[in-house]
Amino acid sequence: MTDVLLEYGVRAIVHCAGRTLVGESMRDPGAYFDANVGGSLSLLNAAVKANVRYLVFSSSAGVYGHPDQIPIPEHVRPDPQNPYGESKLLVERMIRWFAEVHGLRAVSLRYFNAAGADPDGEVGECHDPETHLIPSILNALLDDRPVSVFGCDYPTPDGTAIRDYVHVSDLATAHVRALQYLDDDEAAAFSIFNLGSGRGFSVTEVIAEVEQVTGRSLKRVDRPRRPGDPPILVADITQAVESLGWKPTMDLREIIRTAWTWHQKVRSGPFPRVRGERPRPDRVRAARRPSGRLRPSRPRRPSEHAGAVAASTSPLTTPPHRRHAPATPAPAAAQAAPAAPRPRWPAAWPRWAG
């Protein structure tokens, strides 16, 4: 990693990599400390060796746990309730010491609930498995199934948990502002900023807003609380507004609208589902693998069409089930023709599409 940083003369790093699922971290904490903490330590060591000056770290409101103060300011004592939040807090502490000892200048941005999609519909939110509220609701609408609401007995006005949602485009702007902030000689060596909207919405309110935006009714199933979920998480964004000159520009309705546009676009594309869902027999055609398992079929790429490239019959490169006969050489004109350009696949091309 150090060689890459030196080769390209990197002066600043925006560190967004890591595992992010709370439930998964409760089942496999070692994977989270290995990836989030161990991976970040490797990055920090490489950054110091390559004389990188600035670092912006994507942290999480998960470091707060169950705070006593709402909205939550940055000076509230962290108390993470799961390995995911703990891993983010440990990375923040490492960064603080690297800043003090090695002169690295850094900012930690504590996201609240990042949501929404690219306004142009090119990139959207999709996880496997899907645990975030807004994409879960939209997937339920598209699949005509009820959405699960975890916890209806919280000490909130309607009994469901309250969260603070911030659009991904606003988050991207905040990262740019953080880099500009670090380039100011008067900035602190290490700073922490909350990124949210400063306003909370309950699960019930989010569902109602989705129904307003989409014009569809949604069925819901009430389920027990998930372990570790706090009743309310809302950001105090005063420090980000004052120090970074940043303020969110997209409200909850715009977050839902952009996410809905992206989900519809992906479902109407060459594969009528989003990454993370299981293939449905009524939605995709199937092709049988040599092993006998089924896989969803996909359209051929230009290079796979007959005549584009002569097939190889080498026993080292050809599977046993295809070694039955020599391949017919392509015509000379086809061999001399330039290869067709590879198509630009969608941002959310399914992993099983090859």
Catalytically annotated residues? 84
Mention every residue, 6+ apart, whose C-beta is less than 8 A from residue 111.
58, 59, 60, 61, 166, 171, 195, 196
- CB contact at 8 A, 250 and 199: no
Tokens 């989900």: give the residue: 263
Give CA–CA dist 44/47, Å, rounded: 5
Please report, for residues 141, 259, 285, 296, 345, the alpha-carbon distance to residue 267 in angstroms, rounded to integers and kept in the order given. 12, 12, 15, 15, 14
- CB contact at 8 A, 216 and 209: no
Collect contacts of 35-38 with beta carbons under 8 A, ≥24 apart: 36/84, 36/87, 36/88, 36/90, 36/91, 37/87, 37/90, 37/91, 37/94
Give CA–CA dist 132/294, Å, rounded: 29
Please report, for residues 12, 228, 236, 289, the alpha-carbon distance to residue 69 in angstroms, rounded to integers and kept in the order given. 34, 17, 10, 56
Question: Sign of dihedral through CA atoms 31, 25, 77, 235?
Answer: positive
Q: What is the chain's Cα-based Rg? A: 24
Give CA–CA dist 92/78, Å, rounded: 11
**Two tokens at 136?**
């879960």
